[in-house]
Amino acid sequence: MIKMSQKFFIKIATDPDVDPVKCVVGMACAAQAVTAGHDVDVFFAAAGVRNLNLGQFEKMAENGDVDVNLLNGIMDKLVEGAKLHCSFGSVASVLGKKEGENGLVIPDEKLSWEGPPQVIELSAAADTVLVY
d(CA 17, CA 82): 24
pLDDT tens per residue across span 99-120 = 999 999 999 999 999 999 999 9
Alpha-carbon gap, residue 114 to 108, rounded angstroms: 12
pTM: 0.94
Torsion, Cα 51 123 132 8, to 10 degrees, reads -90
- Nearest to residue 6, comparing CAs of 25, 30, 27? 30
Q: What is the full per-residue pLDDT of the chain (132 aa) written as tens digits?
A: 556 899 999 999 999 999 999 999 999 999 999 999 999 999 999 999 999 999 999 999 998 878 999 999 999 999 999 999 999 999 999 999 999 999 999 999 999 999 999 999 999 999 999 999
